[in-house]
Amino acid sequence: MNSTAKAIPSPCLQAIKDLLGPQGYLESEADRAPFEVDFRGIHRGQSPLIALPQSTAEVVRLVRYCADHKIGIVPQGGNTSYCGGATPHPGNSEIVVSLRRMNRIRSVDALNDSLTADAGCVLETLQEAAAAANRLLPMSLGSEGSCTLGGIISTNAGGTAVLRYGMMRDLVLGLEVVLPDGRVLDQLRALRKDNTGYDVKQLFIGAEGTLGIVTAACIKLFPRPAGMATAMIALVSPAAALDLLAALKSGLGAAVTTFEILPRIALEFVCRHIDGTRDPFGAQFPWYVLAEISLPQADSDLAARFESVLADAIATGRAADAVTATSEAQREALWRLREAIPEAQRQEGAGLKHDISVEPQRLPQFIDEGRALLARIVPQARLVAYGHLGDGNLHFNLSPANAADHSLTAAADQARRAVHDLVAAYGGSISAEHGIGQVKVAELQRYEDPVALALMHSIKKTIDPLGIMNPGKVLEPGA
Ligand code: MLT
Ligand code: ZN
């Protein structure tokens, strides 16, 4: 099965409609449109029908029918993929499946610190349910108002608290998955210890819907932070930022929750395009870090200890200046400067995104080398390297010189190849948190360890021999 597969015949569409019932699908052009394009408007496809099953049993019936008739299925959560992972191919050969009607929170267990919910629940709703039980669901990312539980599990989402709590994979306790032949993998358990053979549920986390449809999950919760402190720190270099991270870790240990870096140009973009934002410093600096520390228990000393580490960093020249939030409004204003970067960068013209990771201590050298490399290939372009420094993950993005400059688009392939070759030379990852989707299939093929790649193909063939599950995403079909 591939992107040139035939359009789904009308009798099959009718049979799918019959099995889902009148509320179970969308069919008009206008209703289908938002599901056929990714949120950035970059990837466009066609799906003759958007399936909206309302139970795992309905997903099973739908998948069985699609397997019997070799119809491609594209699972879609909140449609916030950066890699076209949830967008169908052109040609009306694939059914998009959205679980948005499966949005029931099944249980919140405050003793076990766990929450079990349908995959169609929106992350923000789950965060609120956890908070209502005086618990924290620590996954936090820009799209939390629209991304769904199934989506963030299928993409192994990262976000801005990975340093403290890990990626989505680290938060999953149990899963329920409908396999491509309609069987249900029932591992929806809240067990913290289970060493019974291979942990097969792990295969579906980060598989981007290519091995099955996640229909429900049990995830870990944590104590809600009672003590918190947030600051933006001005720095002369990424190396100085890493020194500061080391100082924070030795002074405050596991309380260090967020450590995000942004260059001057990103702050300028945000202040230029995002209403209500402003540079919190009186002078300009080349780099900034948004750092947040949090503790489960109230600690009157926390802010003082944080400030003393920052003061020491300034006194010893590791930091240039720092602004500490003294109210929730100030904290939100500092966070806005970081979270609005993707939107602000979008307004600077068609750019080029790289989502890379290398070991944190090698990032400063990587940035220097990458900058020099790109200055040769796309001299007009502006480097906007920001992101999750504490995780070694940078969005090593480029923006054109201005709206009229098309040199970046023209040289995009060459620039991407150069950055990814450099990442490979550093032993890093060409997709640290955004996944592969349809955008990086060839890149995965080129850069992944051949043994790992061969295992991935074997796993795909074993679980989805017909290749109906999110065809052409992650792996080349039939390879
Ligand atoms: C972020 O960290 O802001 C997101 O991953 C989005 C991006 O790549 O810009
Ligand atoms: Zn990111």
Q: Is the CB of 354 under 6 A from ligand 1?
A: no
CATH code for the structural domain at 227-343 = 3.30.70.2190
Q: Is the CB of 395 under 6 A from ligand 1?
A: yes
Q: Is the CB of 142 under 6 A from ligand 1?
A: yes
Atom of ligand 1 nearest to the CA of 159: 2
pLDDT at 69 over 90: yes
Lookup result for tokens 């963030």: 152
Burial of 326 (0-12, 13-18, 19+ CB in 10 A): exposed
215: left (phi over 0), alpha (psi -120 to 50) or beta: alpha
Give the mean pLDDT of 44-66.
Answer: 98
Give the mean pLDDT of 302-309.
Answer: 93
Domain ranges of the chain: 105-223, 227-343, 348-434
The residue whose CA has the least distance to atom 7 of ligand 1 is: 342
pLDDT reported for residue 51: 98
| Class at the top of the CATH hierarchy for domain 105-223 | alpha beta
The residue count for the chain: 479
Distance from Cα 106 to the centre of ligand 1, integer Å: 31
pLDDT reported for residue 5: 81
Domain 348-434 CATH (choose: 3.90.1150.10, 3.30.70.2390, 3.30.70.2740, 3.40.50.10860) = 3.30.70.2740
Distance from Cα 103 to the centre of ligand 2, integer Å: 26
Distance from Cα 462 to the centre of ligand 2, integer Å: 32
Burial of 27 (0-12, 13-18, 19+ CB in 10 A): exposed
Q: Kindly state the DSSP code that residue 352 receives in the 8-state scheme.
A: B
Within 10 angstroms of residue 442's Cβ, the number of other Cβ atoms is 10
Q: Is the CB of 353 under 6 A from ligand 1?
A: yes
Contact 441, 474 (CB under 8 A): yes
Summarize pLDDT for 196-213 with one digit per residue, the tens: 999 999 999 999 999 999
pLDDT reported for residue 4: 62
Contact 336, 251 (CB under 8 A): no
The residue whose CA has the least distance to atom 2 of ligand 1 is: 387
pLDDT at 2 over 60: no
The alpha helices in 98-217, defined as continuous H runs, are 123-132, 149-154, 162-165, 168-171
pLDDT reported for residue 178: 99
Q: Where does the pLDDT of residue 119 fall: very low under 50, low under 70, confident under 90, or very high at 90 and above? A: very high
Residue 234: in which H helix or E strand, if any?
strand 227-235
Atom of ligand 1 nearest to the CA of 82: 8
Strand segments, DSSP code E, in 275-413 are 287-295, 321-324, 355-357, 382-388, 393-399
Distance from Cα 18 to the centre of ligand 1, integer Å: 40
Task: Please give the distance of CA 290 from its chain centroid, rounded to a whole number.
Answer: 19
The partner residues of 382 in beta bridges, in order of sequence, read 399
Lookup result for tokens 């008739």: 69
Ligand closest in space to the Cα of 290: 1
Distance from Cα 357 to the centre of ligand 2, integer Å: 11
Q: Is the CB of 351 under 6 A from ligand 1?
A: no
Judge if 227-343 and 348-434 fold alike in CATH terms.
yes
Distance from Cα 291 to the centre of ligand 2, integer Å: 15
Contact 203, 277 (CB under 8 A): no
Summarize pLDDT for 366-396 with one digit per residue, the tens: 999 999 999 999 999 999 999 999 999 999 9
CA distance 151 to 349: 28
Within 10 angstroms of residue 118's Cβ, the number of other Cβ atoms is 24
Summarize pLDDT for 70-81 with one digit per residue, the tens: 999 999 999 999
Mean pLDDT for the chain overall: 96
Q: Where does the pLDDT of residue 479 fall: very low under 50, low under 70, confident under 90, or very high at 90 and above? A: low
Q: Is the CB of 169 under 6 A from ligand 1?
A: no
CA distance 29 to 300: 57
Summarize pLDDT for 314-346 with one digit per residue, the tens: 999 999 999 999 999 999 999 999 999 999 999
Within 10 angstroms of residue 226's Cβ, the number of other Cβ atoms is 12
pLDDT at 403 over 90: no
Angle between helices 264-273 and 328-339 (to 10 degrees): 110
Contact 287, 234 (CB under 8 A): yes
Give the CA-trace dihedral at 217, 223, 229, 232, to 10 degrees: -10
What are the structure tokens assigned to 52, written together? 């909206």
Give the CA-trace dihedral at 330, 332, 333, 336, to 10 degrees: 160
Q: Where does the pLDDT of residue 1 fall: very low under 50, low under 70, confident under 90, or very high at 90 and above? A: low
The partner residues of 121 in beta bridges, in order of sequence, read none
CA distance 120 to 102: 5
The counts of H helices and E strands in the chain are 17, 18
The values of phi and psi at residue 149, to 5°, are -60, -45
pTM of the model: 0.95
Q: In the chain, pLDDT over 90 holds for what percent of residues?
A: 95
- From residue 50, alpha-carbon distances to 14, 73, 97 in Å are 13, 10, 6
Q: Is the CB of 342 under 6 A from ligand 1?
A: yes
Residue 15: in which H helix or E strand, if any?
helix 10-20
CA distance 156 to 162: 11
